[in-house]
Each structure stands twice: as C-alpha cells, then as structure tokens.
Amino acid sequence: MPSSPLIGIGFRVPIAKWTLANLHRFDVLEVTVDHYIRGGEYTCKAIRNLVDRIPLVLHGVGLSIGTDVPLDDEYLDGVSEVIEDLKVPSYSEHLAWTKVPGIDLANLLPVPKTRAVAEMLIPKIERLQSRLPVPFSLENISYVFDFPDGEMSDAEFFNLLFRETGVGMLLDVENLFVNSHNHGIDPQGFLDELPEGVVTGVHAAGGPLVRRPYLDEPFYADNHSQQVPEQALDHLGYALQRQHPETIILERDNDYEKGDELLADVSRLREQVARAAAMREASVTDATAH
C-alpha cells in the first residue's frame, strides 16, 4: 500500500516568517534551487534554517532543458551543491525552455513535441540523472502557445521521455486545467495515458481568467495568485486513482498576504487526498467481493 503523500507549500522568502509560524500545518516544503543559488545571504540563510526542521524537496526554474545547447555545467554544479547542503531527496524542473544563448527570456516556453526534439532531450535527461545524486522529475507546464508542427500529444511526448529515460513526472494539476481550458486538451485523457506510478510529485496553484477586448476567448493565466480551482482538485483526485506522488505542493507566487487562502488550500488538498484514498479502498473492497 503506497504511503500518503506529504502535503505542503513552496517556500517563498517574503512569507518566511509566516511559514515558520505555520510550520506544523505542513508535512513538507519545496525549495526553489534558483532562489538559493542567486538569492543572496538573507535568502540562503532563511532556506538553510529549514533543514532538519521539516522535510524539503527541490524544484528549479533555471535549467532550460529544452534549449538546444548542452546543459550548463556551472548551473548543475550549483544544483548538486544545493542538493547536498539541504539534504533533499529529489529535484524537479520544467519540460520547457526559458533561455536562448546569452538571453534569459524569464518565461516557461513549450518545446515542439517532435521526435527530433525528444532525441535532443533524452541524452540531456540521462546526463542529469547520472550527474545528480537524487531522482529527477519533469513538470508539465502551462503554455500560452503551442508549436504547430508537433508530431505527438502532450501525453505521448512525455511517455516517450519516460520510456527512454525512466524520468519521473511532476504533475501540475493547475497547468493541466489551464491547458485544457486554453487549448482544449482532454485532462482525463491526458491522465489516462500516463503510465501508472510515473508521477513522483504534484503541484497545485490558481490564476485568474483573463478577459481582454482584443481576445476572442478569455484565457487562464498561470500566475499563482489565487486559490486552486475546483477543476484542478478534480484532476488531482482522478490522478490519485493510479498515481502515488510522494509530495503535493501548493504554489503561491502572488498575493502572499492571504495566508488564510493558503491554509484553506492545503486543507482542500488534504481532503481530496483523503477522498481519493477512500475511493481506492472502496474499489479494492468491491473487487475482492466479486
């Protein structure tokens, strides 16, 4: 029987004090490796202060694995040091590109879902796996646009990477919800296509529905400023029927001062996990009764 996922939030320095005061409400915190590498002494101290007080996992935004250049060894050395410093058991990044040589675009951009791009990514993932001392997982991003020459669906592309490298998946249920609304992806179809047990961790967040006179349709923006939408919680419940993530992390990057919203979302995540566990148990009982 897989153990219940640890539930917590992404650690952000602007709410460090509040997080420490509420530490007993979380099972785990997710630290962003880039905050530690580039954040300066105050940020590093705030993050180091968490070690041995609560389990930590590591996430990143600066790898840009989708840029068609070799991996940045200096950056990877930094990640390795942080893994050691913080004694974290895992590291995750986005299946995305954020840079072109010399320029940081400061945006998570989608990779074209083609065989050629997969062939570029596979050796890089394998190199990461052999270079880092902890398991590595890739996150599904939300994207504003998609390349028109894709040869595979989102799930087919991920599955190719899983098959070839054994990499795990960080499933962001809000990104799945946003993509389903903005691009018509079938969220349950996406989840059905994933191999059982491939999801190592989950992200949940919320963002606004953006309406503008020049837009044909309103779209959801993934800016981590609002509570988790019900649909994303539904996706989590559905995913938990076949997946056994070790952690579920609430991401909040704007409107931090609404601590009550964060705590309410953590409770909603716990309730959804409990519901999914009860459903799994009921289906096992049902199966044995027949």
Residues of this chain that bind Fe ion (CB under 5 A): 172, 203
Q: Which is nearer to Fe ion, 59 or 113 (CB)?
A: 59
Cβ atoms of 111 and 121 within 8 Å: the answer is yes
Q: Which is nearer to Fe ion, 35 or 203 (CB)?
A: 203
Closest alpha carbon to 169 in 206, 196, 142? 196
CB 249 → Fe ion: shortest distance, Å?
8
Give the residue nearest to Fe ion (CB).
Answer: 203
CB 179 → Fe ion: shortest distance, Å?
12
CB 186 → Fe ion: shortest distance, Å?
20
CB 251 → Fe ion: shortest distance, Å?
5
Interatomic CA distance for residues 200 and 164, integer angstroms: 17
CB 92 → Fe ion: shortest distance, Å?
9
Beta-carbon contacts of residue 108 (< 8 Å; ≥ 6 apart): 61, 94, 96, 98, 141, 142, 143
CB 11 → Fe ion: shortest distance, Å?
14
Beta-carbon contacts of residue 192 (< 8 Å; ≥ 6 apart): none
Q: Which is nearer to Fe ion, 169 or 240 (CB)?
A: 169
Q: SS3 helix, strand, coil % of the chain, rounded to 5?
A: 45, 20, 40
Q: Which is nearer to Fe ion, 79 or 232 (CB)?
A: 232
Q: Which is nearer to Fe ion, 155 or 169 (CB)?
A: 169
Q: What is the dihedral of CA 260, 264, 267, 271, to 10 degrees?
A: 170
Instruction: Classify residue 75 as exposed, middle or buried by CB count within 10 Å of its CB (0-12, 13-18, 19+).
Output: middle
Q: Which is nearer to Fe ion, 46 or 108 (CB)?
A: 108
Interatomic CA distance for residues 165 and 178, integer angstroms: 27
Closest alpha carbon to 154 in 130, 126, 182? 182
Counting Cα atoms < 13 Å in the Cβ hemisphere of 86 gives: 32
- Secondary structure in 3-state letters for 127-163: HHHHHCCCCEEEECCCCCCCCCCCCCCHHHHHHHHHH
Angle at 87 between CA 126 and CA 46, to 5 degrees: 120
CB 132 → Fe ion: shortest distance, Å?
20
CB 139 → Fe ion: shortest distance, Å?
6
Q: Which is nearer to Fe ion, 121 or 178 (CB)?
A: 178
Q: Which is nearer to Fe ion, 172 or 261 (CB)?
A: 172
